[in-house]
Amino acid sequence: MKYLNCICCGRSLEDICEYQPDGGTAFHTYGHYGSAVTDHMDGTVTTVFVCDSCMKKALTSGVARKDKPDA
């Protein structure tokens, strides 16, 4: 069994299927222009995991945003 760790609190989340954490969310990026860490030029993907508890805290406190896309 494989486990993935929350980037915020370090909690171990069971990997249900190919980077799909049970009780959390996976975020994948090919990079971001302006970042000296994740501006990948070689096709590398960075993946981070956030447990539901940390996500709820972040959304409630305003650290993370939950927006609807423009229609």
**H or E stretch covering 57:** helix 52-61
pLDDT at 42: 85
Overall domain count for the chain: 1
**9: DSSP letter:** T
Question: What's residue 64's pLDDT?
Answer: 93
Q: Give me the pLDDT at residue 44, please.
A: 87
The answer to whether residues 47 and 60 touch, using CB atoms and an 8 Å cutoff, is no
pTM: 0.84
C-alpha dihedral (39, 9, 3, 24), degrees to nearest 10? -80
CA dihedral 19, 20, 22, 23 (to 10 degrees): 100
In a domain, 66, yes or no: no
65 occurs within a structural domain: no
Residues 58 and 66: beta-carbon distance below 8 Å: no
Determine the average pLDDT of the residues in 3-11. 96
Residue 63 lies in a domain: no
Structure confidence by residue, pLDDT tens digits, 25-53: 999 998 888 888 888 788 889 999 999 99
Token pair 């996976």 is at which residue?
26
Q: Is residue 51 part of a domain?
A: yes
**52 is a domain residue:** yes
Residue 16 belongs to domain spanning: 3-56
